[in-house]
Amino acid sequence: MLIISLHVAIGPLTQGDLLKKYQLTWGALTAHIKQLQKAEFIEQRHVITLKGPRALVDVTQNGIQIFYNTLAQLKEVVGKIEN
């Protein structure tokens, strides 16, 4: 959910950005991206920039919906614990 939460807040990020922010290895990042793509939570597209080709990772509408549903469930649990 960390990758999705960051994307919901900031928008599409490159794989390099994700590596830096989460201090992951390329292998771990690739594994996470594949699982999230398989669940249709994120999508990846390749773009050409002034610095060369980059892979952008973005959250799908399905991913955004799951994120907000999970957030609501967490708020409910916290509310029950506080009461």
pLDDT band at 80 (very low <50, low <70, confident <90, very high): confident
For the chain, the domain total comes to: 1
Do 42 and 59 contact (CB within 8 A), yes or no?
yes
The CATH number of residue 35's host domain is 1.10.10.10
What is the extent of the structural domain holding 65? 2-82
pLDDT at 2: 65
Better pLDDT: 26 or 5: 26
Tens digits of per-residue pLDDT, 17-62? 889 888 889 999 999 999 999 999 999 999 998 989 999 998 899 9
pTM of the model: 0.73
d(CA 31, CA 29): 5
**For residue 9, pLDDT beyond 80:** no
Residue 64's Cβ-side half-sphere holds a number of Cα atoms within 13 Å equal to 11
